[in-house]
């Protein structure tokens, strides 16, 4: 069950990360390529373009509880 929750969290995060990448592409090709190659560029893009990127960013945070609960379930010993 834990693996399924982790997978759900991954899919949620991926969907909203792709939405942010689309926004970065619309803004500039440099933002898009930087977001793909350099890890923190996407976060900087979200901060600098908050009004455009806040919706997919905040919706993407929904994935965190799935990850946390999933990893706790995977790491806990079964009885």
pLDDT tens digits, one per residue of 18-43:
999 999 999 999 999 999 999 899 99
- Domain assignment present for residue 79? The answer is no
- Domain assignment present for residue 13? The answer is yes
Domain count, the chain: 1
- What per-residue confidence (pLDDT) applies to 63? 95
Is 64 in contact with 6 (CB distance < 8 Å)? no
Q: What is the mean pLDDT of residues 50-64?
A: 96
- Domain assignment present for residue 66? The answer is yes
pTM of the model: 0.86
- Domain assignment present for residue 78? The answer is no
Which residue in this structure is represented by tokens 């379930």?
Answer: 73
Is 23 in contact with 53 (CB distance < 8 Å)? yes
- Domain assignment present for residue 28? The answer is yes
- What per-residue confidence (pLDDT) applies to 79? 52
- What per-residue confidence (pLDDT) applies to 77? 73
Q: What is the mean pLDDT of residues 8-17?
A: 96
- Domain assignment present for residue 47? The answer is yes
- Domain assignment present for residue 11? The answer is yes
**Domain that residue 42 falls in:** 2-71
- Domain assignment present for residue 77? The answer is no
């Amino acid at each position: 069950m834990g693996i399924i929750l982790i997978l759900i969290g991954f899919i949620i995060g991926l969907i909203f990360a792709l939405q942010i990448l689309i926004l970065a592409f619309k803004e500039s090709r440099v933002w898009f390529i930087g977001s793909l190659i350099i890890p923190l560029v996407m976060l900087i893009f979200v901060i600098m373009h908050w009004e455009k990127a806040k919706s997919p960013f905040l919706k993407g945070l929904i994935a965190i509880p799935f990850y946390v609960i999933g990893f706790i379930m995977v790491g806990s010993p079964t009885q």
